[in-house]
Amino acid sequence: MKSRLMMKLFIGSEAFFFLSLIVAYLYFWRSAHFTQEALHYLNVKLSGVYTALLLLSSGSLVLAENRQRKRAWRSAHFWLAITIVLGCIFIAGQAHEYLTLISEDLTLGSSEFGSGFFTLTGFHGLHVVAGLVLLAILLGLLLKGHLKKEDALRTAGMYWHFVDAVWLCVFTLIYVLPHYLSL
Amino acid sequence: MMKQWTHIPEPEEQLPDAATERGLLMWLSSVDHKQLGIMYLLASLLFFLLGGLLVLFMRTQLAIAENDFLSPEVYNQFFTMHGTTMIFFVLTPAFLGMGVYLVPLMIGANEMAFPRLNAFSFWMALFGGLLLYFSFLTEGAPDAGWFNYAPLNESNYSTEGIHYYCMGLLLGGIGTVGTAINLIVTILHMRVPGMGYRQMPLFVWMMLVTAFLILAAFPSLNAALAMLLLDRLLHAHFFVTANGGSALLWQHLFWLFGHPEVYILILPAFGIFSEVFQVFSRKPIFGYGFVVASGIAIALLAFGVWVHHMFTTGLGNTVNAFFAASSLLIGVPTGVKIFNWLGTMYKGSIRLSVSMLFAVAFLIEFTIGGLSGISFAIVPIDWQLTDSYYVVAHLHFVFVGGSLFGVFSGLFYWFPKMSGRMLSERLGRWFFWLFVIGFNLTFLIQHVLGMMGMPRRVYTYPQLPYFTLFNFLSTAGAFIMALAVLTLLYNIWRSLRKGEPAGADPWDAYTLEWHAAAPPLLKNFERLPPVRSARPLFDLKHPEQADWKKQEG
């Protein structure tokens, strides 16, 4: 109970952090060439695939929690490992996207769009990495049989689902909206 | 039906053992909330002395016109470091330290909810502060003011010290958020059976509200600091106006944090005074519900007033009018509290201990600070007086006359619990009078200097009528305060060596922390009396006139 309340409070605080970054991103949307750059540089289809994989990882984590509650250890291990693999694919995809964009001369310093894009997606990426570390530690403990309490996985799960939800907002804002909206 | 005494169980899991005597190592490795609370207070004291030293240099520079004791560059660094230190590394850790020390004791718990997180948070905050001071070893400390406005904070206008400002405050901010989460979980989950929300001591209530404010306010500072670091190190465009960035965005993000921050620094003081007024007036608080509700109201309104720091940035009359109204509105719940405390004192048998003296002085000084604050909510007055010494006077009346007096009052009240020894009341009175006289001498006159047009944050001033006289008086007041602080240090040192033993309950107080030994043992409580009102110890000592009997009858 205590740890889940702690995680809820932490997530609440993190939500305000991302809200600040999102507001800063929106603040610069009016600046010159912002929408055009978003349309020019970003590959919404490829990123959509990675987004789907990240969302699937939330589903696989729910399955892992479920299996753990039913003491089906092997299948809990399996679904947790699947979650970690999906998260890693997402991060690899983001790294690949960053390298492509940098080779096309979009950087933090190239324009307002560059600053906003890399800051918002970058902080989200860091949160995914932190979540992967967390899940990897839990998988290690689970494999050694040290993790009997359900609380730990559920608590980590809350964080993971939150990071996914943030990505859904970020993806909609950065990748999808420029196709429909120009400020 | 008689309620029984409650036995307080051991924590479920054995924590790293801090009970064994290992000297300094015991403190370094400690996860005990009492030791961490004391370390928080010691860190706060260290930074208080550093920040105070800086201001003595500044007041010396300002003592006479056209002085060249400090260069403009050094003066900029000193006022920036003074403000940053006092707000982030003196007042914040002082209140968090008292919270971490007292909240478990007041709610009848033996530990915080997450002892390791507690230690982590403290060390993050301490190293954040130290990192900030490392900036003096580089080419220069931060020099853009404590609110660090863009574009002054960008690389071409400022020193390398701004990097240390960003990293130091980020570390301190992470620690502060950690402690806030810890306090909330502790308060919501670990109260002794029988203590409902209506029986919680008001200090605990105010710490709870403060903790929620921290969770909502600090993230926007952290985001702004991260963006500033990206600007400075990786050439992002956020706040660089020349590249299409926005200087105003910094102000919005900073004050969206910064205004709640001033309530983060005053609500715990309100909590402390609510305890002190009760105990030293021998009466329960007048209007318990109003104190709690107005605290929550302040916390909610705190997020709707930030633009009153930005009236001169040209956001337009509609925006200004809205924020002027909301800023005037926030005076209401604060005023309610003043009447709660006056009502508590009314017809009480008042004992003017040093703790109570600070509480009474607070009522006066904080009201002055509140009134000058109200005058700033009126937009034309703000336009006239912004960035003058009137602002400096106002903010010191609320930060010193409000928050710092709260720390001092709490220190004299709880020191016997923390150390097991009494502070000398005689030396304490010297400290009180020297400090209050010095404080008023320094800052009352700055209202006038501000209205005469003296701008803040400028390292010197020309020979104008009365400028030298008033500034000299202000400087004299600062040195009187410094003398007062020396008597406080001597008082603490003397008391620790040969102070009068305090006993568990020297003030004949009302709340559970006075039921523990002085100083409390590693395990705070073995058993506790039933909690049926907000004054369980009063009920225990006076069963025939217990508060809960009146409430039921």
DSSP string spanning A26-43?
HHTTTSTTHHHHHHHH--
Percentage of chain B beyond pLDDT 70 is: 96
Q: Which residue from B230, B244, B253 is facing A31, i.e. has the nearest CB?
A: B244
Residues B163 and B137: beta-carbon distance below 8 Å: no
Orientation of helix B202-234 relative to helix B247-264, angle to 10°: 160
For residue A93, give how far its alpha carbon lies from the nearest alpha carbon of chain B (Å).
23
Q: Can you give the pLDDT at residue B553?
A: 47
Contacts of B244 in chain A (CB under 8 A): 28, 31-32, 111-112
Encode pLDDT of A143-156 as tens digits.
988 777 778 899 99
Q: DSSP assignment, residue A172? A: I
* pLDDT of B448 over the 70 cut: yes
| Contact yes or no for B114 and A2 at CB 8 A | yes
Going by CATH, does the domain composed of B29-552 fall within 1.20.210.10? yes
Cβ contact (<8 Å) for B237 and A112? yes
Confidence of residue B105 (pLDDT cuts 50, 70, 90): very high
Which of B15-24, B42-51, B179-188, B199-208 comes out lowest in average pLDDT? B15-24
DSSP state for residue B238 in the 8-state scheme:
S
**Cβ contacts of A114 on chain B, cutoff 8 Å:** 236-237
Per-residue pLDDT averaged across B96-102, rounded?
97
- Beta bridge partners, B528, equal B6
* B486-513 mean pLDDT: 95
* DSSP designation for B402: I
pLDDT score of B439 more than 80: yes
Q: Residue A172 contacts by C-beta under 8 Å, 6 or more apart in sequence?
A: none
Tokens of A177: 């909206």
Residue B42 has pLDDT above 80, yes or no: yes
Instruction: Tell me whether residues A24 and B188 touch, CB distance under 8 A.
Output: no
Could you tell me the residue ranges of all domains in chain B?
29-552
For residue B421, list its beta bridge partners: B501
**What is the C-alpha to C-alpha distance for residues B326 and B259, in angstroms, rounded to an integer?**
13
Residue B346 has pLDDT above 80, yes or no: yes
Burial B285-305 (b: 16+ CB within 10 A, else e): bbbbebbbebbbbbbebbbeb
Domain extent listing, chain A? 2-180
Of B114, B215, B238, Cβ closest to residue A24: B238
What is the least distance, in Å, from the CA of A113 to any CA of chain B?
Answer: 9
The residue of chain A with its CA nearest to that of B231 is A109
Q: Do B249 and A24 touch (CB under 8 A)?
A: yes
What is the helix (H) or strand (E) element at residue B99, kind and residue range?
Answer: helix B92-106
Question: What integer pLDDT is reported at residue B426 of this predicted model?
Answer: 96
Q: Across all residues in chain B, what is the average pLDDT?
A: 93
Could B237 and A9 be called an inter-chain contact, meaning their C-beta atoms sit closer than 8 Å?
no
Chain B interface with A: residues with Cβ < 8 Å: 113-114, 117, 177, 180-182, 184-185, 188-189, 215-216, 218-220, 222-224, 226-227, 230, 234-238, 243-246, 249, 253, 256
Closest residue in B to A15 (Cα–Cα)? B219
B124-164 pLDDT, tens digit each: 999 999 999 999 999 899 999 999 999 899 888 889 999 99
B466, B446 Cβ separation under 8 angstroms: no
- Distance CA(B302)–CA(B257), nearest Å, equals 9
CA atoms of A135 and B332, how far apart (whole Å): 48
CA distance B377 to B331: 10
| Interchain CB distance below 8 Å, A2 and B222 | no
- Contact residues, chain A to chain B, C-beta under 8 Å: 1-2, 5-6, 9-10, 12-14, 16-17, 19-21, 24, 27-28, 31-32, 107-109, 111-112, 114-115, 118-119, 123
pLDDT in tens, B208-229: 999 999 999 999 999 999 999 9
Instruction: Give the helix/strand (H/E) hosting B219.
Output: helix B202-234
Residue of B nearest to A14 (CA): B219
Concatenating the DSSP letter of every residue in A78-124 gives HHHHHHHHHHHHHHHHHHHHHHHHHHTT--TTT-HHHHHHHHHHHHH
Fold of A2-180: Four Helix Bundle (Hemerythrin (Met), subunit A) (1.20.120)
Predicted confidence (pLDDT) at residue A71 exceeds the cutoff of 80 = yes
Supply the pLDDT for residue B552. Answer: 59
Interface test with B, best of A1, A3, A4, A13 (most B CBs within 10 A): A13
Give the pLDDT confidence score for residue B1 in this predicted structure: 41
φ/ψ of residue B246, rounded to 5? -130, 120
Residue spans of beta strands (DSSP E) within B425-507: none
The answer, yes or no, to whether residue B357 has pLDDT greater than 50, is: yes
Measure CB to CB from residue B223 to each of A10, A17, A112 and give the nearest one: A17
Nearest CA to B299 among B277, B273, B271? B271
Residue in B238, B246, B254, B315 to test binding to A, most A beta-carbons within 10 Å: B238
User: How near does any CA of chain A get to the CA of B59, in Å?
Assistant: 38
Cβ <8 Å between B244 and A111 = yes
| Spatial CA neighbour of A25 closest among A11, A40, A10, A38 | A38
| B527 φ, ψ (degrees, to nearest 5) | -150, 160
The mean predicted confidence, pLDDT, of chain A is 93
pLDDT above 90 covers what percent of chain B? 87
Chain B positions touching A12 (Cβ under 8 A) are: 215-216
Query: What's the pLDDT score for residue B416?
Result: 96
Which helix (H) or strand (E) element contains residue B145? none
Q: What are phi and psi of B471, to 5 degrees?
A: -65, -35
Instruction: Indicate whether A33 pLDDT > 70.
Output: yes
pLDDT exceeds 80 at position B21: no
Which chain B positions have a beta carbon within 8 Å of A28's beta carbon? Answer: 237, 244, 246
In the beta sheet, which residues pair with residue B501? B421
Report, as an integer, the average pLDDT of A55-76: 93
Q: Which of A5, A9, A108 is the closest to B230 by Cβ?
A: A108
- CB–CB of B236 and A109 under 8 A? yes
Q: Do the Cβ atoms of A115 and B238 come within 8 Å?
A: yes
